[in-house]
Amino acid sequence: MDPRARWRLFLLVGVAAPAAMGAGGLLLARLVTGRFPDLLRLPSGQATLAGLVAGGASLALVGLLSRLSGRLEDALRRTGTRAGEEVLQSLGYPLMVALVTTSAIGEELLFRGGLQPLVGLLPAAFLFGFSHGGWVRDNWAYAAVAALSGTLFGAAYALTGDLWAPAIGHSVHNVLSTLLLGRHVEVEWRGPVPVIRLVPDPPENAAEEEVPPMSFPSPYPPRPTARALGLVTGQLPPGPQNDICDVPGVRVGHATRVEGEGPLVPGQGPVRTGVTAILPHGGNLFQQKVPAGVFVLNGFGKATGLAQVVELGTLETPILLTNTLSAFRAADALVSYMLEQNPEIGVTTSTVNPVVGECNDGHLNDIQGRHVTAEMVRAALEGASSGPVQQGAVGAGTGMVCLGFKGGIGSASRRVDRYVLGALVLANFGRREDLLIHGVPVGRRLAHYPEPPAAPASGPADAQEPAPAAEQAPEVGDPDEPPPGSVMIVLATDAPLDARQLTRLARRGALGLARVGGSAANGSGDFVLAFSTANRTAHRADYPVRAVTLLRDDSAAMDDLFRAAVEAVEEAVINALFTARTVTGRDGHVAHELPVDQVLSWLNESDQ
């Protein structure tokens, strides 16, 4: 947040609002008691002691109730704690401490100085609690705890007759709560002496690092990625794993189903399909949404949930990828998964928007059978890990064919300044003769593969190579030729981008397809979904205004992120081809693996 916005927020919440509450409290006190509360003198020792006791007791009460009830702890976390963290992120500790102190004094002037003499201790405490969002059902737990704290502050005022007592208690509570945001207290005994430390809370996904193994593993172990074989794409450096999980917090899971051989029996098999799940962070996505943008290169597809992402600019569920006719079953299973995590959906709050992308794997798979089950979806979600991402013929990529060869899941990443951008593709698009790798038309050279490839024409230019004879090329409608495919691209970054900027990023991701020969054919559904793990949006918030920090459009980092999207998508598609193994599907259809050794030899020749 820029300094002007920071000071505007402080002046509004830390000065104007407390001043208004204080003025109201002074007027009420004058009307009810005939005098103004005296806060201009120094507090007495008795008032100071009572205030310290009330503040400590209030903080201890909140901690104890949170420990006794996991549901209450979650409610407090969703409301007061997260609201405090958002303001703290905007203001920083010095201004935040000043803000919570002035707010405490303003509230005590109003509720204890003015309202308590008028309506009594308990009604004033109730009104105090209600003022903390009690009109919103999701905030009732937070409001009830605030009312209990108000009772303690009111008791301190009733016992001492000095408004300094509740003002000190309330300030102590607020300041200590601020210092504890994102931290917890650890006590270690060294003999008779306790050592008390403030320790940062672990990330939300830390408890989920250990994940169960996949319940539906792929029988097709991946081959090495292109970079592992020495083929470097682009100029920007990759992340440590060179996959989408290099973006902190992002996890990917797969579930694969391979059953049966021989002729197609619609509804029964053979089965060559699966589902892939991408989780932007390890928390509750419905409660903590992430900004997202969508670009549709060619809309021949049945993806679900994208319209709301375009409209609202947020993603509130994990992303699932699967085959076309299983997309709707996958969406239903994803809704069930989200309802388990958020039982209030559709009852006391809004409905949920499941996001599912799809490609047609019907060349190898009994797609009519819709063999992706709810158990597979759950296995992919619960088995998601922080990488390395398994690539090739796995999960949603099991039955996919890309540019005339076995395709599937591919992933890559790039580092840009202090940020990371990762791409994951479900590659199922294009014709063989269009395949380009680093500008070399390897698809034309492999037009008749797995037959021995024709020797390339002499001379430096690949343009001199004769095209395959028309009578030898696959005919449209040839049963051995895959139907028009599609591609789903998911981009993730930890750069602080909003939905508009992420949509711009998604457009650049589509350029990576052109580098490998993609042309967005009529029957190809080509979708790009980009999200950022920065600047999460709470489902509920106590404040109507939200302040975030964004990367400038005219920054050098933004241009590099655009380049990163192109490079990562290009390499992700190449990785899908390099890692996938040959798969034989229904009716004996074979999707051959790319002959990597031959391709690398041609690429090496072109570099000389």
HEC per residue, 54-77: HHHHHHHHHHHHHHHCHHHHHHHH
Strands 183-190 and 590-591 turn out to be unpaired
Q: Which of 58, 218, 524, 532 is catalytic?
A: 524
Shared domain for 146 and 39, answered yes or no, is yes
Would you say 402 and 358 are in contact if contact means Cβ atoms under 8 Å apart? no
607 or 551, which is more confident: 551
Is 58 noted as a catalytic residue in this protein? no
Would you say 591 and 401 are in contact if contact means Cβ atoms under 8 Å apart? yes
Domain boundary among 198, 220, 251: 198
Q: Is residue 408 part of a domain?
A: yes
Shared domain for 134 and 66, answered yes or no, is yes
Shared domain for 273 and 172, answered yes or no, is no
Span 399-413, pLDDT tens digits: 999 999 999 999 999
Q: Going by C-beta distance under 8 Å and a sequence separation of 6 or more, which residues neighbour residue 109? A: 21, 22, 24, 25, 26, 29, 37, 39, 163, 167
Identity of the highest mean pLDDT range in 12-26, 474-488, 519-533, 534-548: 519-533
Note the pLDDT of residue 42: 84
Note the pLDDT of residue 463: 44
Dihedral sign for Cα atoms in the order 263, 265, 266, 271? negative
Q: Going by C-beta distance under 8 Å and a sequence separation of 6 or more, which residues neighbour residue 492? A: 244, 247, 250, 278, 280, 421, 422, 423, 424, 530, 531, 532, 533
| Residue 211 scores a pLDDT above 50 | no
Domain boundary among 198, 229, 251: 198
Shared domain for 126 and 272, answered yes or no, is no
Is 524 noted as a catalytic residue in this protein? yes
Q: Is residue 254 part of a domain?
A: yes
Shared domain for 187 and 241, answered yes or no, is no
Helices (H) and strands (E) in the chain, counts: 17, 17
Q: Is residue 137 part of a domain?
A: yes
Q: Which of 162, 246, 494, 526 is catalytic?
A: 526
Peptide bond into 388 cis (omega under 30): yes
Would you say 363 and 591 are in contact if contact means Cβ atoms under 8 Å apart? yes
Q: Is residue 207 part of a domain?
A: no
Note the pLDDT of residue 204: 47
The residue-averaged pLDDT of 153-159 equals 91
Shared domain for 33 and 136, answered yes or no, is yes
| Residue 179 scores a pLDDT above 90 | no
Shared domain for 150 and 253, answered yes or no, is no
Shared domain for 399 and 516, answered yes or no, is yes
Q: Is residue 466 part of a domain?
A: no
Q: Is residue 456 part of a domain?
A: no
The residue-averaged pLDDT of 288-309 equals 96
Q: Is residue 245 part of a domain?
A: yes
Shared domain for 251 and 184, answered yes or no, is no
Shared domain for 248 and 186, answered yes or no, is no
| Residue 192 scores a pLDDT above 70 | no
Low-confidence winner among 33-42, 124-133, 235-244, 389-398 (lowest mean pLDDT): 33-42
The residue-averaged pLDDT of 592-599 equals 97
Distance CA 378, CA 255 (A): 9
Is 494 noted as a catalytic residue in this protein? no
pLDDT averaged over every residue in the chain: 86
Distance CA 577, CA 409 (A): 9
Q: What are phi and psi of 427, to 5 degrees?
A: -90, 115
Percent residues over pLDDT 70 in the chain: 81
Distance CA 340, CA 345 (A): 9
**Residue-range definition of the domain harbouring residue 387:** 237-259+267-279+287-445+482-537+549-600
Span 463-496, pLDDT tens digits: 444 444 333 444 444 446 676 689 999 999 999 9
Percent residues over pLDDT 90 in the chain: 59
Note the pLDDT of residue 178: 74
CATH number at residue 359: 3.60.70.12
Note the pLDDT of residue 79: 53
Note the pLDDT of residue 476: 40
Instruction: Band the pLDDT of 26: cuts 50, 70, 90.
Output: confident
Distance CA 29, CA 359 (A): 69
Span 87-135, pLDDT tens digits: 555 556 677 788 888 888 989 988 998 899 999 999 998 998 888 776 7
161 or 263, which is more confident: 263
Q: How many CB atoms lie within 10 A of CB 183?
A: 12
Shared domain for 155 and 255, answered yes or no, is no
Shared domain for 171 and 253, answered yes or no, is no
Q: Which of 411, 486, 494, 560 is catalytic?
A: 486
2 or 592, which is more confident: 592
Instruction: Band the pLDDT of 292: cuts 50, 70, 90.
Output: very high
Number of domains the chain contains: 2
Q: Is residue 588 part of a domain?
A: yes
The residue-averaged pLDDT of 334-357 equals 96
